[in-house]
Amino acid sequence: MTAPAPIRSVVIVGGGTAGWMAAAALSRLVRTGVSVTLAESDAIGTVGVGEATIPPIRNFNGLLGIDENDFLSKTQGTIKLGIDFIDWTREGHRYTHPFGEFGFDIEGVKFHHFWRKLYAEGKASWIEDYNLCATAQKLGRYTTPVADPASVLSRLTYAYQFDASLYAAYLRAYAETRGVVRTEGKVLDVLLRSIDGHVEAIQLEGDRRIDGELFIDCTGFRGLLIEGALQTGFESWKHWLQCDRAVAVPSANEGTGITPYTRSIARRAGWQWRIPLQHRVGNGYVYCSDDIGDDDAAATLMANLDGQTLRDPMLIKFEAGRRKLAWNRNVVALGLASGFVEPLESTSIHMIQTGVSKLMALLPDRDFSPVDRDEYNRQTQTQMEQVRDFVILHYHANERTDGDLWRRVREMEIPETLRRKIDLFRRRGRFFRYDDELFADSSWIAVLLGQNVMPAGWDPLADAVDPALVRQRLDRIREVFRRAAEAMPRHEDWLARNCPAPTATFTRKTA
């Protein structure tokens, strides 16, 4: 049997975060003789948002061999230890979704069962006190984690907050240095091969044509190839994730300062984000257009900033859902072209990352076997649905009294996959992950408990451990985490010392 012939050319269309992440990762192929070209239009520009991430982004940067301090400095980056959810469960309530685990398991039983038992007896404080990220986050502190599991600092897990356009520029420099060729210009047409409907070439303004074998559609919500040319179809999730617009505006670093976390504040018709970077703060109001007009949404956002605005607000329209096939014929859609689960848990950039990794693992040959494509599509669909369920949980489990949106999402039918998870957790705090699920148990537990989905009981095996020992352990964990967090430098001081951006505007300079 002869080995299938490997592809010789890849054409990436679009130069936003998705396009340049794909180009940076695929630049490895250039060394094997594959040509990698990226076409983008300066006139069209990028979506201009997407600044908060989740911890696996560090693996992506790590695989590229990117120096963390250099990257943070050049992207105005900051550290993210989690998300602070304000007023989500009910008005006046606050909880944290921290990265990293809660406490330590005892005799093979998950920590949260012991916590639940003691909390019911009034002998434990809220679960966040047993998570190092949450403890440091509340104090506005951060330090470089330690790999040695014997050190408490090994429990610190983090992601980044950065300027999306600077991240794309950073990756562009990386990719171009490694042989990716960039072409500037608007794509006017997508040419299909008559024999099998595969994309043959893209036609750019100025009568330029780029031929290719594998095409990667990174054209954002437009989905120029995957939808415009191939008419793949879109599965809408708007009945579950009803927010369909956002207004975004940057503001000066004032007030709360550069916190090592993203803030999400529930509002009558949606929620507001606050993402602190070194030189400014990114803000936005994500809302449902059935519940508030664009002008009112912009006014709400502007009235709730803690620094001066640096630009006019920008309106973005979207629809939550997924492309029916992320890989169709010889086109793989990445980023917004492949679908979007709204930005609440900062998962979009991560989905680009996993899309690129899957593509590398299932790189097609010139015959484009459906075996590779079907596996890619199966995994992508599962991952997107898991993220979708996690985000729906935040909306559905609410006790808010203002606004029709919150009543509707509380009363709606939710996906069966999520219903099962909630029901299992509500009985005895049981939780199971499937198929390499992105969010760890600790993330689900943080949000389930935060949204007041309190288990009625706990794992009976927790009763087999001496209660005095359990109490002692919990008290000790809380104390050790508190002391460790207090000993860390302030987040701003850590940034100023390790990776200051040339134009950083630290609120209290200590460098």
Ligand X SMILES: Cc1cc2nc3c(=O)[nH]c(=O)nc-3n(C[C@H](O)[C@H](O)[C@H](O)COP(=O)(O)OP(=O)(O)OC[C@H]3O[C@@H](n4cnc5c(N)ncnc54)[C@H](O)[C@@H]3O)c2cc1C
**Distance between CA atoms of residues 170 and 280, nearest Å:** 19
Q: Which two tokens stand for residue 361?
A: 């693992």
- The Cβ of residue 499 has, within 10 Å, a number of other Cβ atoms equal to 22
Q: Which of 80, 117, 138, 421 is catalytic?
A: 80
Figure out which of the listed residues 220, 355, 455, 500 binds ligand X, where binding follows CB under 6 A.
220
In whole angstroms, the minimum distance from the beta carbon of 15 to ligand X comes to 4
Instruction: Choose one: 33-41, 148-156, 410-418, 458-466; the region binding ligand X (CB under 6 A).
Output: 33-41
Distance CA 470, CA 461 (A): 12
By C-beta, is 136 or 202 nearer to ligand X? 202
Among 222, 426, 428, 482, binds ligand X (CB under 6 A): 222
Backbone angles phi, psi at 14, to 5 degrees: 115, 135
What part of residues 388-417 is at the interface with ligand X (CB under 6 A)? none
Smallest gap, in angstroms, from Cβ of residue 265 to ligand X? 15
Nearest distance from C-beta of residue 432 to ligand X, angstroms: 26
Size of the site for ligand X (CB under 6 A): 37
186 is known as an active-site residue: no
Q: Could you give the C-alpha distances from 198 to 201, 207, 226, 328, in angstroms and in order?
A: 9, 21, 11, 9
Least distance in angstroms from the C-beta of 323 to ligand X: 12
The least distance separating ligand X from the CB of residue 248, rounded to whole angstroms, comes to 6
Give, in order, the Cα–Cα distances in Å from 422 to each of 9, 67, 442, 506: 46, 40, 14, 42
Residue 504 gets the label, from left (phi > 0), alpha (psi -120 to 50) or beta, of beta
Tell which positions 4-23 bind ligand X, by CB under 6 A: 14-19
CA nearest to 391, candidates 462, 320, 300? 320
User: What does DSSP say about strands 9-13 and 270-276: parallel, antiparallel, or unpaired?
Assistant: unpaired
* 134 binding ligand X? (CB under 6 A): no
Q: Are 103 and 474 in contact (CB under 8 A)?
A: yes
Closer Cβ to ligand X, 246 or 477, answer by number: 246
- 115 phi and psi, to 5 degrees? -60, -45
H helical segments located in 293-369: 294-303, 348-361
Nearer to ligand X, 348 or 383 (CB): 348
Assess 27 for contact with ligand X (CB under 6 A).
no
Binding mask 332-371 for ligand X (x = CB under 6 A): ---xxx-----x--x-xx----------------------
* Residues assigned a catalytic role: 80
- Applying CB under 6 A, the residues found at the interface with ligand X are 14-19, 39-41, 44-47, 49-53, 164, 186-187, 218-220, 222, 224, 246, 284, 316, 318, 335-337, 343, 346, 348-349
